[in-house]
């Protein structure tokens, strides 16, 4: 008998609200005052973070600023085409260029993350420069419950994506400067952000405003079909093998309410796939309509365990992730367990059951 669902999708009245130009003033002041910028996003970057930083880098460059994009982890293969629009460097403590950029810059803009730890290996350097008083940290994001660690922050969780916010920021900047700033390249980068973070315009935050914005970006030169093809029709044979193995390993527990998947290093090795190949799998965990909470756990190379949560209705998984130092959105969140995957699975399953029971 198929599981049935009567769980309503969340619609929040503030979804689709846009910021007034004056609400962007602190960000615009910081951007116009800065000379030398480093833009960055969270570890294991996604389309939203990457598209947002490329779009903002292109805008700042056109204003005559020095701009580098330096990320804590590498660009996943299906987003590498963005590097054609702007160079993206991966930071590690041995890379002299990236270290120099971080030392020279006077403004760091963090996009699509609102917790200091999400900056990974960049944070100690940013924090050091900030303490010296030589650096301003600006954050633009749309996740829940931001940390207090920046100088200027716009964190609006009703926005579909960080790209949606950057789009509004560029319009506010155009108004302030009295000149046009959008180019086809900027439109392309922002379209990547909005398309990926709305699950290709399917998620609840896909408001009429988001469709208008997408239409505006297409009219400014973004090629929707080519962008979709670049990002989603880009699986390697290894990633397909992993998908097959992962789908067979999904378990549906507790009367269909929980879907559960653990991907081990052995599974990644057997299919010769990579960590970022796991990203497309989580959507299948929520494709059974009775599922209220979906958990994907991935064993990392260093022994830690990465957990991603998706949920339906009033199951606010950001609260679950927060318990372990993570965070995210109401229906999509994640965290990193510092201990072995056996222990992580055991602890988390108990917690997930308790969490659902008390709702
Ligand atoms: Mn995002």
**129-145 tens-digit pLDDT:** 999 888 999 999 999 99
| Interacting residues of 274 by C-beta distance below 8 A, sequence separation 6+ | 238, 239, 268
Which of 106 and 11 is assigned the larger pLDDT? 106
- If you average pLDDT over residues 105-128, what whole number do you get? 95
Q: Compute the distance between CA of residue 79 and CA of residue 51 in angstroms, rounded to an integer.
A: 9
How many angstroms from the chain centroid is the CA of residue 326? Answer: 13
> 56: CA distance to ligand 1 center in Å?
15
Helix axes 208-219, 162-177, angle to 10 degrees: 60
Residue 153, pLDDT > 80, answer yes
> 240: CA distance to ligand 1 center in Å?
25
Residue 108, pLDDT > 80, answer yes
> 41: CA distance to ligand 1 center in Å?
10
State the pLDDT confidence band at 1, using cuts at 50, 70 and 90: very low
> 161: CA distance to ligand 1 center in Å?
5
Which has the minimum average pLDDT: 159-163, 228-232, 300-304? 300-304
> 108: CA distance to ligand 1 center in Å?
18
pTM, entire model: 0.90
Q: Compute the distance between CA of residue 60 and CA of residue 155 in angstroms, rounded to an integer.
A: 20
> 27: CA distance to ligand 1 center in Å?
18
- Spatial strand order of the sheet with 251-253 comes to 251-253, 258-263, 293-299, 305-311, 332-337, 327-328
Using alpha carbons, list the distances in angstroms from residue 130 to 120, 219, 284: 16, 40, 42
Helical (H) or strand (E) element with 302: none
Q: Compute the distance between CA of residue 74 and CA of residue 353 in angstroms, rounded to an integer.
A: 35
> 166: CA distance to ligand 1 center in Å?
11
CATH 3.90.1640.10 fits 21-231, yes or no: yes
| CATH class in words for 237-357 | alpha beta
**305-357 tens-digit pLDDT:** 999 999 999 999 999 999 999 999 999 999 999 888 999 999 999 999 999 99
> 1: CA distance to ligand 1 center in Å?
37
State the pLDDT confidence band at 13, using cuts at 50, 70 and 90: low
> 184: CA distance to ligand 1 center in Å?
22
Residue 210, pLDDT > 80, answer yes
Per-residue confidence (pLDDT) for residue 352, from 0 to 100: 97
> 254: CA distance to ligand 1 center in Å?
31
* Ion ligand 1: protein residues whose beta carbon lies under 5 Å: 48, 112, 162, 197
State the pLDDT confidence band at 26, using cuts at 50, 70 and 90: very high
Strand partners for 294: 259, 310
State the pLDDT confidence band at 221, using cuts at 50, 70 and 90: very high
Residue 2, pLDDT > 50, answer no
> 3: CA distance to ligand 1 center in Å?
31
Per-residue confidence (pLDDT) for residue 118, from 0 to 100: 94
- If you average pLDDT over residues 185-196, what whole number do you get? 98
> 241: CA distance to ligand 1 center in Å?
28
Q: Compute the distance between CA of residue 161 and CA of residue 75 in angstroms, rounded to an integer.
A: 18
Per-residue confidence (pLDDT) for residue 295, from 0 to 100: 98
- If you average pLDDT over residues 262-272, what whole number do you get? 97
- If you average pLDDT over residues 74-103, what whole number do you get? 90
| Interacting residues of 19 by C-beta distance below 8 A, sequence separation 6+ | 154, 156, 165, 168, 172
> 111: CA distance to ligand 1 center in Å?
8
> 352: CA distance to ligand 1 center in Å?
24
Q: Compute the distance between CA of residue 14 and CA of residue 10 in angstroms, rounded to an integer.
A: 12
> 52: CA distance to ligand 1 center in Å?
9
- If you average pLDDT over residues 230-241, what whole number do you get? 94
Per-residue confidence (pLDDT) for residue 98, from 0 to 100: 82
Per-residue confidence (pLDDT) for residue 348, from 0 to 100: 95
Domain boundaries in the chain? 21-231, 237-357
């Amino acid at each position: 008998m198929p599981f049935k669902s009567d769980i309503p999708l969340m619609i929040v009245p503030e979804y689709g609200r846009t910021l007034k130009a004056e609400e962007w003033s602190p960000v615009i002041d910081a951007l116009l005052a800065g000379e030398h910028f480093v833009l960055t996003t969270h570890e294991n970057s996604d389309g939203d973070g990457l598209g947002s930083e490329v779009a903002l880098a292109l805008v700042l460059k056109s204003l005559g600023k020095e701009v580098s994009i330096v990320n804590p982890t590498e660009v996943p293969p299906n987003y590498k085409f963005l590097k054609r629009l702007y160079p993206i460097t991966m930071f590690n403590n041995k890379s002299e260029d990236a270290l120099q950029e971080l030392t020279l810059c006077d403004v760091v803009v963090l996009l699509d993350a609102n917790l200091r730890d999400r900056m990974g290996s960049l944070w100690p350097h940013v924090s050091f420069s900030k303490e010296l008083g030589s650096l301003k940290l600006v954050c633009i994001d749309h996740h829940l419950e931001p940390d207090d660690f920046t100088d200027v922050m716009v964190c609006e969780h009703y926005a579909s994506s960080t790209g949606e916010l950057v789009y509004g920021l560029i319009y506010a900047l155009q108004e302030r400067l009295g000149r046009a700033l959008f180019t086809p390249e900027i439109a392309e980068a922002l379209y990547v952000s909005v398309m990926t973070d709305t699950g290709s315009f399917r998620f609840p935050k896909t408001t009429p405003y988001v469709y208008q914005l997408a239409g505006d970006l297409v009219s400014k030169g973004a090629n929707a079909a080519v962008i979709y093809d670049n990002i989603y029709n880009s699986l390697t044979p290894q990633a397909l093998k992993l998908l097959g193995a992962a789908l067979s390993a999904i378990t549906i527990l507790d009367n269909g309410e929980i879907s559960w998947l653990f991907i081990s290093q052995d599974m990644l090795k057997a299919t010769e796939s990579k960590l970022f190949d796991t990203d497309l799998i989580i959507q299948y965990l929520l494709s059974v309509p009775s599922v209220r909470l979906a958990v994907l756990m991935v064993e990392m190379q260093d022994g830690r365990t990465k957990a991603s949560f998706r949920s339906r209705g009033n199951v606010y998984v950001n609260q679950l992730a927060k318990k372990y130092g993570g965070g995210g959105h109401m229906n999509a969140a994640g965290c990193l367990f510092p201990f072995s995957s056996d222990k992580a699975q055991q602890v988390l399953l108990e917690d997930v059951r308790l969490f659902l029971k008390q709702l």
